[in-house]
Structure 1
Amino acid sequence: MMSKVTEVVEELVTPILTENGLELVEVEYVKEGKSWFLRIYIDKDNGVDIEECGMVSEKLSEKLDELDPIPHNYFLEVSSPGAERPLKKDKDFQKAVGKNVYIKTYEPIDGEKAFEGTLTAFDGDTVTVEVTIKTRKKTIEIPFEKIASARLAVAFS
């Protein structure tokens, strides 16, 4: 049910975003407590503002009212993914080369399952991250299919 909802919503919101020069980052349909939330995360190169989020929310809401793909009440939220935006698609990783990232893997690589460092390369199959362990820099190659989750990471210096 949840994946069906996210698929339908993705189909509905994509033309709205394309028409307005925006990009879909993620669709989330989750239950928190007794309430359901439909969250749409959007972005563009120089970030999105509240007016763009409002416009997408309004247009998507009209489409959802027409089709009514969700059988119960829910809250619709449209927002920017924020500074720690998730990395999901190939193009997300390509755009993140040179940036600080946080990656979790399904299984340990060099004895670790979590890595934070600079994404130095992505070739479609392997993500290369330079991490600092104490004072030494180390390059870790992570097979793309072993990534459980990845996001940009805010670096504190």
Structure 2
Amino acid sequence: MVGKITEMLEGFFATEAEFGDCFVVDVVQTNTRLEVYVDCDSGMTFGKCQRISRFLEAYLDEEQPLGDQYTLNVSSPGVDRPLKFFRQYVKNIGRTLEVTTHEGDQFKGQLKTVEEAFVVLETKVRRQEGKRKVTAVEDVEIAFAAIKKSVVKISF
């Protein structure tokens, strides 16, 4: 069913001009609950979520793949969900990311650059210089293939 919902939404986005830059980030189904996370390069709005929800409700009500009692939640992924796609990284240039690699290394810093094969974070590093510790700012290049998880961190 997750694949069917993704396929339907991709078709919907392709035919509706307002949704031309939208993409499915994730679809999660548990019993009679369906959570759909959608993002747009131009930004998600409440109105877009509402139209997507109504589109999906029409299918769910008619075909009833979840039965006649279900819960549907359509939203943007939010900052607590990991980044999954290249275009999400591009959208978040300038924001603080926390990146975990497959090797277990963790980096936290401002996303400076996004290229096809890697991202560059500006990080603060503490190092020993003589008898004292000094904080230095360094650019760290991380290959997309090495990234296990990236999460946007909000600063207050």
- Please classify the TM superposition score into its range, dividing by the shorter chain length: 0.7 to 0.9
Find the aligned partners of 2:145 and 2:61 in 1 and give their Cα distance: 37
- State the one-letter code of the partner of 1:119: L
Find the aligned partners of 1:37 and 1:47 in 2 and give their Cα distance: 22
* 1:52 matched to 2:52: no
Q: Is the 8 A contact 2:10 2:24 kept in 1?
A: no
Deviation at residue 104 of structure 1 after TM alignment: 1.7
Task: Tell which structure's C-alpha radius of gyration is larger.
Answer: 2
Q: Is the 8 A contact 1:120 1:129 kept in 2?
A: yes
- Report the equivalent of 2:130: none
- Report the equivalent of 1:63: 59
Give structure 2 stretches of 5+ with no counterpart. 127-134
Find the aligned partners of 1:107 and 1:85 in 2 and give their Cα distance: 21
Deviation at residue 43 of structure 1 after TM alignment: 3.2
Q: What TM-score do you get using the length of structure 1 for normalisation?
A: 0.73
Give structure 1 stretches of 5+ with no counterpart. none
CA RMSD of aligned residues (A): 2.7
Q: Is the 8 A contact 1:103 1:151 kept in 2?
A: yes
* 1:29 matched to 2:28: yes
What is the number of equivalent residue pairs in this alignment? 144
Find the aligned partners of 1:153 and 1:25 in 2 and give their Cα distance: 22
Q: Identity rate of aligned residues, in percent? A: 27
Find the aligned partners of 1:15 and 1:53 in 2 and give their Cα distance: 16
Find the aligned partners of 1:27 and 1:116 in 2 and give their Cα distance: 24
1:83-94 to structure 2, matched below 5 A, reads 83-84=79-80, 86-94=82-90
Find the aligned partners of 1:130 and 1:102 in 2 and give their Cα distance: 11
